[in-house]
Amino acid sequence: MSLVSFKRAYLVKQRHAASMLKKRGIHGVGVGYKDPAKPHKGAALIVYADKAVTTAAPRTKSGSPVRRKPPLLPSAVKKQVPVRIVGTGKFRKNAVDCSGGRFRRRIRPVIAGYSVGTPEGSGTAGLIVSDKGRPRSRYILSNNHVLVNENSSRYSPTIQPGAADNGTLRKDQIGIMTRFIKLHKNKPNYLDAALSAPLRRRLLAPKYAVFGNVPGYVSTYKIGDRMKKVGRTTGIVSGRVESIHTDIQVDYGSYGNLGTITFKNQSVIRGKKPVSLSGDSGSVWLTKSGNQAAAVNFAGSDEGRLSIAYPIDWFMKVFGTRVARSGRSALNTPARGKRKSYMCVRPLNSQLRKRLTPYHCHHQR
């Protein structure tokens, strides 16, 4: 097969991902390198599937298994584009109910990278942001399932540290969830996102644990980009963008009575060690150099080496926010990117942005 363009791989993914995700054992379908060690070999369809599926095969006369690709891929797909199978278990949201660790302690003022949550559990404060038109406003950026009361607009207090880290409503409440994107069981999702407003502005500081100042955010990034982040559970980690445009199924368990739901056009970031475990939900990936915010983590593979994230540009556009900055200087703006390249994550189109209108929570108990 001749060298395949990323646009072609993207179009094949768009055409076949929905039917492929209905197959048992397939959890995600995206676009990445045919051979990550040799990027010049072009694009491939990346299929995330159960390890048992990727190794299932008849046995030889000696009884040893023979490795083969799973018989789940439509023949039309294999004829149009190379396919790289990545063995992994299910992807799951990463809020948690266990405790211990450096970034799980109480901290005032609250900065990005530390435990935050509700009286039911803990995730990570991903970033401190401001409204686009109100530079002195401050909010915590994190996930719906970290800050929201069961995917509803009911009163949702924010505590730091979260309940899994011994935070209590009486002693540790720092804010109230104000806006969120509702997650849907029977139609595609794009963002697991929420904002919490502090009870007092001084409770939040626009800093990021370990890495300090975040000067802004990128409007796009590409396959192969290197990133870093701090999360409540895994701490300081790094990874590389393995696939983008990835349609993926994520298990939310009993949260909001959602079960397993589908997300479209997500990014998968791979680490050499665990980068996305329970409690890391909401943590924000930064560019390896420059400390620009890039993507919002919300789920991971069972062993934690794969992070599921969406471009932070989507969050900023939908919520009308920017990276907060200390003092009275202008708000941090996004860096430019190659929006037209299918090697890069793409912006939300105007129609989809209108559909993704944040819900407002009720402040009364």
The structural domain count of the chain equals 3
Report, as an integer, the average pLDDT of 218-232: 97
Rg (CA), the chain: 20
Residue 327 inside a domain? The answer is no
Q: Is the pLDDT of residue 236 over 60?
A: yes
Is 94 part of any domain? no
Give the model's confidence band at 359: pLDDT under 50 very low, under 70 low, under 90 confident, else very high: very high
Mean pLDDT, residues 295-303 taken together: 96
pLDDT at 35: 96
Mean pLDDT across 10-30: 96
* 243 shares its domain with 341: yes
Asked whether residue 234 falls in the same domain as residue 173, the answer is no
Based on the fold, state whether residues 303 and 273 are members of the same structural domain.
Answer: yes
**Among 60-74, 133-147, 311-325, the least confident range:** 60-74
322 within a domain of the structure (yes/no): no
- Backbone conformation region of residue 41, classed left if phi is above 0, alpha if psi is from -120 to 50, else beta: alpha
Task: Over range 265-273, report the average pLDDT.
Answer: 98
- Do 238 and 305 belong to one domain? yes
- Based on the fold, state whether residues 109 and 200 are members of the same structural domain: yes
How high does pLDDT run on average in the chain?
Answer: 91
Residue 56 reports pLDDT greater than 50:
no
Same domain assignment for residues 226 and 341: yes
What pLDDT does 75 receive?
79
In tens, the pLDDT along 87-126 reads 999 999 976 555 558 999 999 999 999 999 999 999 999 9
**Same domain, yes or no: 114 and 142:** yes
For 130-185, what is each residue's pLDDT tens digit?
999 999 999 999 999 999 999 999 999 999 999 999 999 999 999 999 999 999 99
Q: Which of 27-31, 68-72, 211-215 has the lowest average pLDDT?
A: 68-72
- pLDDT for residue 98: 55
Mean pLDDT within 248-262: 97
Domain assignment of residue 239, given as a range: 219-317+335-346
pLDDT at 57: 47
pTM: 0.92
Is residue 11 predicted with pLDDT exceeding 70? Answer: yes
Q: What is the pLDDT of residue 95?
A: 67
Domain match, 106 and 202 both: yes
Give CA angle at 304 (266, 204), nearest 5°. Answer: 75
Phi/psi at 233 (5° precision): -100, -55
CA pseudo-torsion sign 346, 9, 285, 173: positive
Same domain, 225 and 342: yes
Judged on CB neighbours under 10 Å (0-12, 13-18, 19+), 353 is middle
Give the per-residue pLDDT at 126.
98
249 domain residue, yes or no: yes
Please report which confidence band the pLDDT of residue 72 belongs to, taking 50, 70 and 90 as the band edges.
Answer: low
In sequence order, the β-bridge partners of residue 300 are: 92, 307
Q: 250 and 303: one domain? A: yes
Q: Looking at the structure, tell me whether residues 229 and 307 fall in a common domain.
A: yes
Span 294-306, mean pLDDT? Answer: 97
Q: Within a domain: residue 342?
A: yes
Would you say 4 and 39 are in contact if contact means Cβ atoms under 8 Å apart?
no
Largest CA distance in the chain: 74
pLDDT value at position 348?
A: 94
Contact 19, 75 (CB under 8 A): no
Residue 327 has pLDDT above 80, yes or no: no
Per the domain annotation, does 202 fall within a domain?
Answer: yes
Strand intervals (E) in 78-193: 83-87, 91-93, 110-112, 115-118, 121-124, 127-131, 134-142, 157-159, 173-180
Helix (H), strand (E) at residue 321: strand 321-323
Residue partners of 60: CB distance under 8 A and separation at least 6: 66
Q: What is the pLDDT of residue 280?
A: 97
Q: What is the dihedral of CA 93, 95, 97, 102, to 10 degrees?
A: 130
Residue 139 lies in a domain: yes
Indicate which CATH number applies to the domain containing 233.
2.40.10.10
Does the structure show a pLDDT above 60 at 59? no
Looking at the chain, the whole-number percentage of residues with pLDDT higher than 90 is 82
Taking residues 10-38, report their average pLDDT: 96
